[in-house]
Amino acid sequence: MFECSNKIGLLADSHGNLESIKKGIVRLNESHAHPFIHLGDIFDSLKNENLYEIYKIITQNNFLTVKGNNDFQVENRLNNGHSFDIPVIKKNKIISFLKHMPMRLTDEKICFTHSLPFNSIRSFYEPVDTGTTERAKQLFTETSYKIIFCGHSHSSVLFRLRAGNVTREPIHPNEMILFNPSERYIVIVGSSDNGEYGFFDKDQMTYQRGCIQL
């Protein structure tokens, strides 16, 4: 449990793209967001470059983070002796960072996670957005969260539970979504690697999708 403040900046699925993280941080700072949350797959298991630089910029900008499947894979490879040509001291800092990264962050009825909001390996890999509402229906039944913010699927999509029915809706750039107290939501933020980011205003109960020019 953590206590989130007024306007939260969200990145997800950077997949080792250092430039997209840097540009995302600029946009989040311009909007005076705090804190920043990264919704997993900060790193990419197939990209070996910039691991330490990415670790450094994420920690220096005080991101709260949740672990994604690629972060999990990178952690395992480092623990199993893969050096990625990183000096031991730097490698150990990344390992410690990944080791202590939770699978989800919660604040009352709000959850921030990579994909499914559970503590299981399956949760890293099984996407919420399968193109239908079936997985979202199950999550609304299996959890009590008012809003779940997640990544993994690389799409900017909103699932809405209204009067027992679940809809899947695209989130358009700069669109302002107002969360209705009588409804529940799953928000997929989209991939920072593709130029996506988002803002959640807890006081106003709104979400807005932003786009980074990469």
Could you write out the DSSP letters of every residue in 38-101? Answer: E-S--S-TT--TTHHHHHHHHHHTT-EE---HHHHHHHHHHHTT--TT--HHHHHHHHHHHHT-
How high is the pLDDT of residue 183? 98
Q: If we measure between CA atoms, which residue out of 104, 81, 105, 103 comes closest to residue 91?
A: 81
How high is the pLDDT of residue 47? 87
pLDDT in tens, 103-128: 999 998 999 999 999 989 899 999 99
Rounded to whole angstroms, what are the CA distances from 94 to 14, 59, 72, 105, 169? Answer: 16, 10, 12, 20, 37
How high is the pLDDT of residue 167? 98
Amino acid in position 84:
F
Cβ-count burial of 136 within 10 angstroms (0-12 exposed, 13-18 middle, 19+ buried)? buried
How high is the pLDDT of residue 3? 62
191, 16 contact by CB (below 8 A): no
Phi, psi of 203 (to 5 degrees): -70, -45
Residue 56: pLDDT above 70?
yes
In this predicted structure, which of 68-72, 108-112, 129-133, 210-214 has the lowest mean pLDDT? 210-214
Amino acid in position 37:
I
Q: How far apart are CA 184 and CA 167, in angstroms?
A: 11
Which strand ranges, in their side-by-side order, compose the sheet holding 157-162? 104-107, 110-113, 147-150, 184-188, 157-162, 165-170
Give the confidence band of 32 by pLDDT, cuts at 50, 70, 90: confident
Q: How far apart are CA 17 and CA 116, in angstroms?
A: 23
Give the confidence band of 1 by pLDDT, cuts at 50, 70, 90: low
Q: Which domains does the chain have, with CATH numbers?
A: 7-211 (3.60.21.10)
How high is the pLDDT of residue 5? 65
pTM of the model: 0.96
Give the confidence band of 31 by pLDDT, cuts at 50, 70, 90: confident
pLDDT in tens, 127-168: 999 999 999 999 999 999 999 999 999 999 999 999 999 999
Residue 16: pLDDT above 80?
yes
Q: If we measure between CA atoms, which residue out of 110, 97, 146 comes closest to residue 3?
A: 110
Residue 65: pLDDT above 80?
yes
Q: How far apart are CA 54 and CA 19, in angstroms?
A: 9
Residue 81: pLDDT above 90?
no
